[in-house]
A and B are shown apart, each in its own frame.
Chain A
Amino acid sequence: EAGVTQFPSHSVIEKGQTVTLRCDPISGHDNLYWYRRVMGKEIKFLLHFVKESKQDESGMPNNRFLAERTGGTYSTLKVQPAELEDSGVYFCASSIIQGGLEAFFGQGTRLTVV
């Protein structure tokens, strides 16, 4: 069974540019989560999808971040325009049971904004 897959694994962009991160959850997992870890800090929740609907986006930093999950399958997280403080590792996770229980994480996308 394939795990949670994230693309790309690394991305280096200039300030002001746009970047789109992608997450393919485990097949059949209705719940999809995005988390972010800024250097040296804790991993923080960004948002949660149940199928294609946003259940909770309280962790999204600002309106430069847009997450979508069309069709309830893969999800994208777009940052536009990127700022230096957006650098970090973005994790995606999926689960069958709502609430993060038994959540399976991807390997993360390391985003560097220069």
Chain B
Amino acid sequence: AQSVTQPDIHITVSEGASLELRCNYSYGATPYLFWYVQSPGQGLQLLLKYFSGDTLVQGIKGFEAEFKRSQSSFNLRKPSVHWSDAAEYFCAVVKNTGFQKLVFGTGTRLLVSP
């Protein structure tokens, strides 16, 4: 069965510092990969997605993610964190064949310190 692992439950980063959130997936083939963000009081917002092609994907709000097939990873990065980035981040996968439904990781809560 598919699974997604986000090993970090909480991460605290200083404002202006770089950020990397880890995501590993378990699936026999290359799935479709997503990162969502949930800010306080908001719904889930799609940050970026990977379907195929260039393994470095650019998203909204200055985020990027890199798909590494050999490591089954899809880590999210941002070079300089802003206080408004404090939120919960979810990695998700979808099978690339047949009916697809999102399988989510447990989420990583990002705290930004001054």
Q: Which residues of A contact B (CB under 8 A)?
A: 3-4, 6, 33, 35, 40-45, 48, 55-56, 59, 91, 93, 98-108
Report, as a range, how many residues of chain B touch the other chain. 20 to 34
Residue among B44, B90, B107 with max Cβ neighbours from chain A (10 Å): B44
A-B contact pairs, 30 of them (CB 8 A): A3-B43, A41-B106, A42-B104, A42-B106, A43-B90, A43-B104, A44-B104, A55-B99, A56-B99, A59-B101, A91-B44, A99-B94, A99-B100, A99-B101, A100-B94, A100-B100, A100-B102, A101-B32, A101-B49, A101-B51, A101-B100, A102-B49, A103-B46, A104-B46, A105-B44, A105-B45, A107-B41, A107-B42, A107-B43, A108-B44
Q: Which residues of B contact A (CB under 8 A)?
A: 4, 32, 36, 41-46, 49, 51, 90, 92, 94, 99-107
Docked CA distance A103–B90 (Å): 14
